[in-house]
Amino acid sequence: MNLKTWWYDTKSTKWQIIIGTLLIGFVFIGTFAFLDTYQFEEWEYSGFAKSMMGILMGTVALGVITGIIIIFQSIVSMDREKNQKIFDERLKLYREFINKTMGIVSDNLLDPIERDQLKVIEKEILMIASPETYKKWMILYKDILKLKANENDKENEDDDVIFSISDKSIEFINSCRQDLEIGVIDKQTIAYSKSESRSEISKGSKTIYSGIDEKIKLLRNAKLNEKGINAWELILRRLEEVRKREDKCIINFTKSACSFYNKDISSNWLLYIHNPGKETSGFNIEVRRDIYNDLIDKYNLQDSENIEANNSHKAIEIKAKLFNEVGETRFNEIAEYCINCILD
């Protein structure tokens, strides 16, 4: 070990003070002992010389003690200042996180700019937060990344993600409080906060939990095409019958569309039905099944531009214009065929 490097290392300051104090104490104790035991020659100014040496050494000792006190005060002051800066930086970072996260959750979307901003926050948290708080953040971060990039992204259409983000945000905040040494939130308060947050999210959430009747009421209040609403209702009533009969099936009623799930088959939607329009009777239907060829052969739709295959997801999209192209009865037959395909 390089003694010079160690001596000037700020991390070893306390050891420097201890060793320095012991050395200085040894020198002064030895010197005072020498003055007390050594017999000076009998000369006229020996008493004066002895007194001066004692005074000088006492002054030096007082200076050393004062220096030690100042050094200790400086260390305490630096520690206090460092802790204050860390506290301020952590508080600033955590506030920024909370504001940013609430902004993200408010629209249920995560665009590329927000992703980049979260990456920066993630590195800042890694730099300044405790390991436990960083782990809480990473659990939350993974859920945030599941948010949709835009309204047209149905791959990540899942309201449970929003609730999970809300719950894990509260757990992260509790860990932040531990870092800031302002006390942890008790379990009852955490449970209450999670419940209230979920309730508030539900009020502004896209999901309408009361079911198909409330959804139809919403469509009519929006003054959408009545003929389209009737056709839409016919399909959803059929799906509702399946849902009531099969516990594994779920329907999510949302403001802009509805999605049908079968938990035994996939965690993703199998049928995605958009709202009818105000002027047109038709509405888009997306089916997560590779039935394009069978469908166009069965209904002689080889020349139609209103049915498209999505090979990447092995799905098809039936466009709203198909309603007017084939008529209401045939459109409903096609929808029924699609439902039967996802149930097989």
Residue pLDDT, tens place only, 229-247:
999 999 989 888 888 888 7
| Contact between 272 and 285 (Cβ < 8 Å) | yes
Report, as an integer, the average pLDDT of 209-234.
84
CA distances from 278 to 207, 228, 232, 332 (A): 21, 9, 13, 19
Other Cβ atoms closer than 10 A to 143:
18
Q: Edge to edge, what strands does the sheet with 257-262 contain?
A: 249-253, 257-262, 271-274, 285-287, 315-318, 307-310
265-269: Cβ within 8 A, 24+ apart: 268/155, 269/154, 269/157
Mean pLDDT score of the chain: 77
Report, as an integer, the average pLDDT of 140-163.
69
In this prediction the pTM is 0.44
Q: Which two tokens stand for residue 204?
A: 């502004």
Q: What is the pLDDT of residues 269-316, one digit of tens each?
A: 788 888 888 888 888 898 888 888 898 999 999 898 888 887 655 788
% of the chain residues with pLDDT over 90? 4
Cα 122 to Cα 135: distance, rounded to the nearest angstrom = 11
pLDDT of residue 13: 58
Cα 310 to Cα 290: distance, rounded to the nearest angstrom = 8
Cα 147 to Cα 158: distance, rounded to the nearest angstrom = 8
SS3 (DSSP) at 121: helix
Q: What are phi and psi of 288, to 5 degrees?
A: -90, 65
Cα-Cα-Cα-Cα dihedral sign, residues 326, 284, 288, 314: positive
Report, as an integer, the average pLDDT of 42-70.
69
